[in-house]
Amino acid sequence: MRTIRDRALTSEERAIVRAYACDGLPSRAIAEKVRRSRTPIRNLVGPVELRKPRKKRGRKPKLDHRSKRRILRAARTGVYTAKQLRSKYDTAISVRRIQQLLGEDAYLHYTRMWQARTLTPFQRLERVKWAHR
């Protein structure tokens, strides 16, 4: 007996396959009755346990979704630096990664704060003179 392999299961064939599966026929017997290969039959009615689970690729994240959400919520509600957020939530990620998370967020606009140099007494005096002009 030759099976058809070149096309997908039609809606009528799917209905017939599901009916046979409800009757308790194994996928091999259903494939012989419908004259199709076992793979599409097994994909349609086969138990999920037999399918191979997909493995996640790459390194596991140090920060889970819940911690990420907590950090972003805290940054939205208060005025915190990335270093303060890291120490507040005691995370394993770096300050730079927290800065990146804040930069990726649509509601936050992360800007780096530049620390101004302290003025010498002469410079302060000159500024005051300039302001009173």
User: Each residue of 85-112: pLDDT tens digit?
Assistant: 999 988 889 999 999 999 888 888 766 6
How confident is the model at residue 8, as a pLDDT? 84
- Flag whether pLDDT at 77 surpasses 70: yes
Tokens of 93: 């990620």
* Segment among 16-20, 71-75, 109-113 with least mean pLDDT: 109-113
Amino acid at position 31, single letter: A
Beta bridge partners of 36: 4
Beta bridge partners of 109: none
- Flag whether pLDDT at 51 surpasses 80: no
Sign of CA dihedral 84, 85, 90, 95: negative
* Segment among 70-74, 83-87, 112-116 with least mean pLDDT: 112-116
State mean pLDDT over 66-83: 90
Tokens 């805290």: give the residue.
Answer: 74
How confident is the model at residue 110, as a pLDDT? 65
Sequence-distant (6+) residues with CB within 8 A of 9 are 17, 36, 40, 44
69 vs 81: CA distance, rounded Å: 16
Sequence-distant (6+) residues with CB within 8 A of 35 are 1, 2, 3, 4
Q: Which residue has the higher pLDDT, 49 or 105?
A: 105
